[in-house]
Every structure is written in structure tokens, then in C-alpha cells.
Amino acid sequence: MKVLVAIKRVVDYNVKVRVKADESGVDLANVKMSMNPFCEIAVEEAVRLKEKGVASEIVVVSIGPTAAQEQLRTALALGADRAVLVESSEELNSLAVAKLLKAVVDKEQPQLVILGKQAIDSDNNQTGQMLGALTGYAQGTFASKVEVAGDKVNVTREIDGGLQTVALNLPAIVTTDLRLNEPRYASLPNIMKAKKKPLEVLTPDALGVTTTSTVKTLKVEAPAGRSAGIKVKSVAELVEKLKNEAKVI
Ligand code: AMP
């Protein structure tokens, strides 16, 4: 079974992001970039399926600038077999990304496509669902357990206040939640081996996809700064302030 995993290059989760002075977006100059954490979980799940003998080949795909090759090489070091970069320096919205992923799905014909549930930069949580609509494949979102059984995949989903298990006919799309697995670290020998694994570079044009955006970001603002705290002289004063000023008791 061939598994396709979509990975996004995003600002590292440890970075405290700065908003550009003109509020047009986030300042990416000299900022550490990494694989989106939910995509790391997606790669890990694919690698575990291969270790169990369920998956025969793992192809990782990223859509983004030339530098996204770094994240693809990381995925190759973690156990993926082959990588595809759809190179674009434009800021693409989710529908454009989903259309490009659909073109890669048509080309690669995977039985299972694994994506993160959400990219931590845009917090869109929609690419997997859009890909589901474009391909017509069954989808299991927010997966905390994935089990392939014959021509089906059982996905346990984290839903409000509980878990739901659904059986999807293959080919299917799964998006990963935080508790699906704990991703491994790449070992040095595997990082070296990954340099020799195949990495194909394609363009949206070559895939016949137009990426014109129907969404425009108007403004990005930093959260309002917190006002300074105060010291109170007694418990009575604290209770009075909690009651009458903060109105929380
Ligand atoms: P989003 O819908 O933007 O929150 O992203 C959800 C998931 O879609 C990510 O975790 C990735 O698996 C996939 N994805 C989004 N953008 C890209 C991209 N540019 N390249 C590859 N995969 C992507």
C-alpha cells in the first residue's frame, strides 16, 4: 500500500513570532522554520505502518519554496522513501494547496493520504477536508488511532467529550491529532542516507493547476499587551477586587 504524506514548512513552534510593522503578516526574516508538528505525527504514523508491513512505500509531498526541501529531507530521514516538492514562492491559500495535492494524488495513486489536522502558522484546519471533497475519498479527521484492516482503515477520532471510531473504504484521507503517536527523532546515519533518497521538484504549471487566490489577508495583528499587575495589602482587599473589579467571584 502506498501512503502519501503532506508536510508543510512552518515557523518553528518555539519561535515567538513578530508581526511586521505594516501588519501585512508575520516577519519571517532569520526565523527558524521546521516541519509542522501535526505533519511530523503524520510522517511517524506512515513509518509505523511501513514497519508493521502494511505500507510498502511512503511518498512525502510539500508545497512551498525551494527551502521546503529541508523539511522533505527531514521526512526522508525519518523513514519516507521518496519526496515531491511542488515549488511555489507565492503564499498559497488552502484551496490552492488542496488542488495541488489532488494533482499529486492523481499522479501517485496512493491508497492512504495522511495530513496534519492543522498547520500551526495559519491554523486553517481545512486542507485535508478540501482534499477529501476534491478527490471524493472518505476522510477521517483528528485521528488518535489508525488501523488498516483489508480494504478499510479504522480511524478513532477525537471529538468533543469523547472518541468516535469510523471505518473508511480505501483510498482514504486521514488527518492527525496530537495524541496519535509520539514522533521519533532522526538518527545521524539516517540523516546522511536521506541525502541520497529521490526528491522530485514539480511546478503548479506542470501539474496543470492555477493557484490564483480567492482569499486576501487584510491585516495581521499581535495580541493586545497585558496590563501590569498590582500588589494588594490584605486578603480582604484581594477578595474585594476579585468581586468588584475583576468580577470573577
Ligand atoms: P491547514 O488546513 O492549513 O491547517 O493544514 C492542514 C494540513 O494540510 C497540514 O498539516 C499539512 O499536512 C497539509 N498542508 C497544508 N499546507 C500545506 C503545504 N503547503 N504543503 C504540504 N502540505 C500542506
The CATH number of the domain holding residue 152 is 3.40.50.620
pLDDT tens, residue by residue, 179-237? 999 999 999 999 999 999 999 999 999 999 999 888 888 999 988 888 888 899 999 99
Mean pLDDT, all residues of the chain: 95
- Per-residue pLDDT at 19: 93
Instruction: Give the rounded percent of residues in the chain with a pLDDT score beyond 90.
Output: 87
Ligand 1: atom nearest CA of 176 is 10
CA 220 to centroid of ligand 1, rounded, Å: 20
Q: Does a structural domain hold residue 7?
A: yes
> What number is the average pLDDT over the span 83-108?
96
Q: Does a structural domain hold residue 249?
A: no
Name residues contacting ligand 1 (CB within 6 A).
Answer: 6-8, 36, 38-39, 42, 62-64, 94, 97, 115-116, 118-119, 122, 124-128
- Per-residue pLDDT at 146: 98
Say what the pTM is: 0.91
Domain that holds residue 166: 2-244
Select the more confidently predicted residue: 246 or 99: 99
- For the cut 90, the answer to whether the pLDDT of residue 148 exceeds it is yes
CA 5 to centroid of ligand 1, rounded, Å: 10
Q: Does a structural domain hold residue 153?
A: yes
Burial class (CB in 10 A: 0-12, 13-18, 19+), 79: buried
Please state, in angstroms and rounded to a whole number, the distance separating the CA atoms of residues 73 and 82: 9
Q: How confident is the model at residue 246 (pLDDT cuts 50, 70, 90)?
A: confident
Whether the bond into 65 is cis, omega within 30 of 0? no
Q: Does a structural domain hold residue 214?
A: yes
- Per-residue pLDDT at 105: 98
Beta strands per DSSP E along the chain: 2-6, 9-11, 33-35, 57-64, 82-87, 112-116, 138-149, 152-159, 162-169, 172-176, 199-202
Ligand 1 pocket mutation pick from 4, 36, 88, 176 by most atoms within 8 angstroms of CB: 36
pLDDT tens, residue by residue, 28-54? 989 999 999 999 999 999 999 999 999
